Amino acid sequence: MITRPAGTGGALARKIRALGGVPLLLPGLSLRAAADAEAARAQWLKAQNDDVLIFTSPAAVRYAIGLAPLATRATVIATGQGTAAALHRIGIEAQVPRVRQDSEGLLELPSLQQLQGRHVALITAPGGRGLLQQQLVTRGASLREVHVYRRGSPRLDRRHIDAAQHLPHTACVLLSSGEAMQNLLALLPSAASRRLREARLVVSSDRIAEQARASGFSRVYVAASATQADLLARACEVYSHERQEADRAGC
């Protein structure tokens, strides 16, 4: 089951089919352009003159480039490999955390340790935990937040609800956003949300794993990162391990 934002799960679905799986789409988020495109474009153009540009997601890259091309001499940083890949496709090589691909991982980068007098632009959407913003300012950065898109609750129709409600016991849910998880649990009928909690859950970080367990998920597995390859690799490991356990038990 793919919980990526509406309209962005196609490539992952194709990879699942190639591995012999059956993809089910259950978007946990919807992504929209900034409400005031002209204001967002003006801020984005100003940000390109800053010392450091931090992109928090592949969507941040996509929506920013939709406002205006990227032409900068700034140090460019990506939250994770997926964001770095989106930047690479437009010819930009970004720094990326090697281990934790989240705010904590970003804050470990050497280039973000001493920020006194430096202008840092965070290319993102409104919301989030605020940890990154707080720490960047604490380290002396002059911070500019550029909201190039918005996240919102998805619109679930009958087929989405049916997919969750009739999720087979063998199913695996791929999740890379705690916000998406909370949206789904809030929007799905009780029977469907209960079935979702009973499924295997492959998540992209320890932080989301903790949130999932606190929300009632019991079979939670952590992938190496939020990239499609790492999420699928972890799901395959889970299935392989369960088959081995069944074989040893003589099932």
Q: Tell me how far apart the alpha carbons of residues 222 and 161 are, in angstroms, rounded to a whole number.
A: 25
- Checking if the pLDDT of 251 tops 70, the result is no
CB 26 within 8 A of CB 1: yes
Q: What is the fold, at CATH topology level, of the domain defined by 10-29+155-249? A: Rossmann fold (3.40.50)
Name which of 50-54, 80-84, 186-190 the model is least confident about: 80-84
Only one residue has tokens 């909370």, namely 182
**166-201 pLDDT per residue, tens:** 999 889 999 999 999 999 999 999 999 999 999 999
32-151 under CATH 3.40.50.10090, yes or no: yes
Q: Would 10-29+155-249 and 32-151 be classified into the same CATH topology?
A: yes
Task: Say how many C-beta atoms besides its own lie within 10 A of residue 12's C-beta.
Answer: 18
Average pLDDT of the chain is 93
Angstrom distance (rounded) from CA 248 to CA 20:
24
Of the listed ranges 94-98, 126-130, 228-232, 243-247, the least confidently predicted one is: 243-247
Q: Over pLDDT 70: what percentage of the chain? A: 99
pTM: 0.84
pLDDT band at 81 (very low <50, low <70, confident <90, very high): confident
Domain locations in the chain as residue ranges? 10-29+155-249, 32-151
Share of the chain above pLDDT 90, in %: 80
pLDDT at 149: 97
Instruction: Quickly state the pLDDT bin for 208 (edges 50, 70, 90).
Output: very high
